[in-house]
Structure 1
């Protein structure tokens, strides 16, 4: 069994709205952007003047320009998760991190976040790009409970605007920065229970989405959109059967890639609009932090007995899913 005790999220203050992107003169306007991706705003760790003057031509320079590090945004999200769980950093016995663009090749980003929080515990990274959160919970759920500490902190810091080319309208309209965190336990019961989970990948498609070291984000947009919709619908159907879901007895949180993608998934999977939770329209594609940040933002609305299905896709190509139920 895997229990979830608290969830947290953090979005930086700087807002990239559609008017700002239009001012960059890269071939977008508000209607063009809404028609294609359904996104009004995104958040960024970069100063807007930096984006305006450089278009982020050099991602390595963006590391210096950013107003937050991954460690800082990770710590912000983690503190909220700890507060909701009624815990402190001293209670954390393991830190796991992962996402699309870690700031260091070595050490593990989990180590840097742990140090920022003052956590003295083992730390390692487990990542499958945007699908990392589902992958992390799936594998921890299957680990030997006796070998794990009581409380595990999972953090997904996704400040991916640092690797966006703001002269390329295809990717500039998508990304927003977000960080998520959860506290889980294999042994201590909590308010949420992970009922079932799954993880799959198709490595032959690895080159459809990639970020070369020191370079910008690149993807085959049409192929990735098709993959994301197909695999998301398949995962929803599989989880419905495995987790004994009846109709729309769950809230759905999908990969926050873009609103058009999510609309197609919900239509094909027959998920009603009032059961669909999302934030991509206001925060952009938050990578691995996108779906869990939606969960965290809705933390207070969920009631005992509520169920949440989360399905996430990412580079690799990889996809993961889970069903959660609030039990207390």
Structure 2
């Protein structure tokens, strides 16, 4: 069994509003954006004047125009997760990072986040596009318990806006930047249990959503949208059938691709709006950090017995599912305290 001791999240301060996108004169007004994707705002690590003046036509200029580094953003999310877990950086025995849009090819980005935190521990990356969070935890859950340290720090790090062509009205409204973090353990129990997980791929469609090195994000929008709705629906229904009957509260967190996609899935699976946790309207599609950031933002709302189904989809094409159960250990006085 894998246990989650704390979650954290971070989003940069710069806000890309629908009004800002409309001012770029690329054929997408505020009404068009809301009808198509239902996203009101998104955060970016880029300077807004840089976007306005260049539309990020040459992605090589994005790093210099950034107001914060990827490692710094990841460290901000990690510090929140550690604080919630009652731990310090020196308690971390391993760091695993992942992204849909890695900036550094070598070494692993986990090394740069660990250095920002002052953590001295083994570091490596597990990347699986927007499905990365569940793939990371599934890999950990499959490792030998005795081979792992007491606490592992898992980072999901995204500066997707660096790969966006802001002259393309189809992709410009979708993406935001951010980071999410989780402190997990197989050795120390915690109130939130991770179980019932699995991840899958459709490799023959790997080219449907891509970010080529040094180039802009590209996707076959209609095909990817249909795939995201179908696979998220299938995975959520599977989790409902397996665990829904035992759950006094059964919630849903999906990949934060766009609000319209999530609404389709929620309605197909008869999930009440109150039981659908999301943040895509305020932060956009933040790649692999989207779903875990939703969990982090609602961390203090979890109550004993709650079951939360998380389903993520992404390029590759990949998809994954898992259950998160609040066990009530805190009420029993069994929760680990550092």
**How does the TM-score come out when normalised to structure 1?**
0.98
Worse-matched range after superposition: 254-263 or 61-70: 61-70
Contact 1:240 1:246 in 2 (8 A): no
Deviation of 1:241 (Å): 2.9
- Give the superposition deviation at 1:247: 7.7
The residue number in structure 2 matching 1:186 is 186
Determine the C-alpha separation between the residues in 1 that align with 2:171 and 2:133: 22
Aligned residues of 2:248 and 2:306 also touching (Cα < 8 A): no
User: Is 1:154–2:148 an aligned residue pair?
Assistant: no
Give the corresponding residue for 1:88.
Answer: 88
- 1:114 paired residue number: 114
- The CA deviation at 1:116 is 0.9
Calculate the aligned-residue CA RMSD, in Å.
Answer: 1.1
The alpha-carbon distance between structure 1 residues 273 and 246, as it changes in their structure 2 partners (threshold 3 A), is: farther
- SS class of match (1:32): helix
**2:110, 2:91 → 1: CA distance?**
16
Equivalent residue, structure 2, for 1:275: 275
Render the CA deviation track for 1:264-307: whole Å, top value 9, x for unaligned: 11111111111101000010001000000000001111112211
Would the aligned equivalents of 1:151 and 1:185 in 2 still touch at CA under 8 Å? yes
1:195, CA displacement in angstroms? 2.5
Mapped contact 1:17–1:40 kept (Cα < 8 A): yes
Q: Does 1:27 align with 2:18?
A: no
* Helix, strand or coil at the partner of 1:193: strand
* Mapped pair 1:76 → 2:76: yes
Partner of 1:127: 127
Runs of 4+ in 1 over 2 A off after TM superposition: 240-249
- What TM-score do you get using the length of structure 2 for normalisation? 0.95
Partner of 1:304: 304
Q: CA deviation at 1:90?
A: 0.3
After superposition, the C-alpha distances for 1:117-175 in whole angstroms (9 at most, x for unaligned) are 11100011011100100111111111111100000000001111011000001000000
Q: Is the 8 A contact 2:3 2:191 kept in 1?
A: yes
1 CA distance for matches of 2:247 and 2:206?
34
Q: Please say if 1:243 is aligned against 2:243.
A: yes
Larger deviation, residues 234-243 vs 291-300: 234-243
Matched, 1:104 2:68: no
Distance in 2 (CA, whole Å) between partners of 1:244 and 1:260 is 24
**Residues 230-239 or 247-256, more deviating:** 247-256
SS of 1:77's equivalent in the other structure is helix
Is the Cα–Cα contact under 8 Å of residues 14 and 43 in structure 1 kept in the other structure? yes
Give distance in 2, aligned partners of 1:248 and 1:27: 46
1:34 Cα deviation after fit: 0.3
5+ long unaligned stretches in structure 2: 330-338
Show the counterpart of 1:53.
Answer: 53
Provide the residue aligned with 2:333 in structure 1. Answer: none
Q: Secondary structure at the match of 2:63?
A: helix
Are 1:258 and 1:284, in contact at CA under 8 Å, matched by a contact in 2?
yes
Secondary structure of the 1:195 match is strand
Equivalent-residue separation in structure 1 for 2:150 and 2:247 (angstroms): 35
Q: Give yes or no for the alignment of 1:314 onto 2:307.
A: no
Question: In 1, are the aligned partners of 2:247 and 2:307 still within 8 Å (CA)?
Answer: no
